[in-house]
Structure 1
Amino acid sequence: MHSYGYRVNALLTFAITILAVMSAMASLSDNLNSPTPFVHAQVTNINWFQKQPNGDDEVSMTMNISANLQSLFTWNTKQVFVFLAAEYETPKKPLNQISLWDGIIPSKDHAKFWIHTSNKYRFIDQQFAR
């Protein structure tokens, strides 16, 4: 006869083995997902372009952003952070990047959207290094 200690040990070992197998299956199922998001951004209007007294340039623009990010949501995704960035080059700097807009998509229901907005953050090109 096996004692209660042996029975508890066998039950715990079995439970931990099942938990490890389920964790491995969950990890594999998330790695096999290949999302195919679609995003289209278009500048519809330049609201204003200003040259600052210190030599910097500032732009305000209106954009249309349409996206279908539903494929990014799996059982393991709570929310998705999205942002729109502008990349450009100048004679002094070959690569400039600035964030124009961002948002948090809280669920798969909100992951397909179209918005008409202006840049959320100031788009300033600093001409001179400080």
Structure 2
Amino acid sequence: MIKIDYRDPRPIYEQVVDGIEELALRGALPADTQIPSVRQLAVELSINPNTIQRAYGELERRGVIYAAKGRGNFISDNTETLRTRRLDEIGTQIGTLAGQARALGASEAQLQGWLKEKGENRA
């Protein structure tokens, strides 16, 4: 289920994009699963259909969904490519944060400790 957080600084369409992409990556929406129509999802989330249309356009551009003319939108089967892209993005973010921590004097042992600690806390 996609949840919209009105306190989130990201636009609503980005939250929809991230929500559907996350469900696809986790396998909650397997390949070739039909997703709700623009109208259905707009009613379900109580948001403007144009917002959903924009989100679906972005999802199609990213390769998360594909449109079948006259049938609707479906989850694509390239989740491995999506997963690799997402992991690369996370790796870049971790690298940036590690650089900032090193600039403030953090040691390699501290960095490794944080990764281990945070990884164990996520379980």
**TM-score, reference length from structure 2:** 0.25
- Structure with more of its chain in strand, by fraction: 1
**TM-score, reference length from structure 1:** 0.24
Task: Name which one, 1 or 2, has greater alpha-carbon Rg.
Answer: 1
- Structure with more of its chain in helix, by fraction: 2
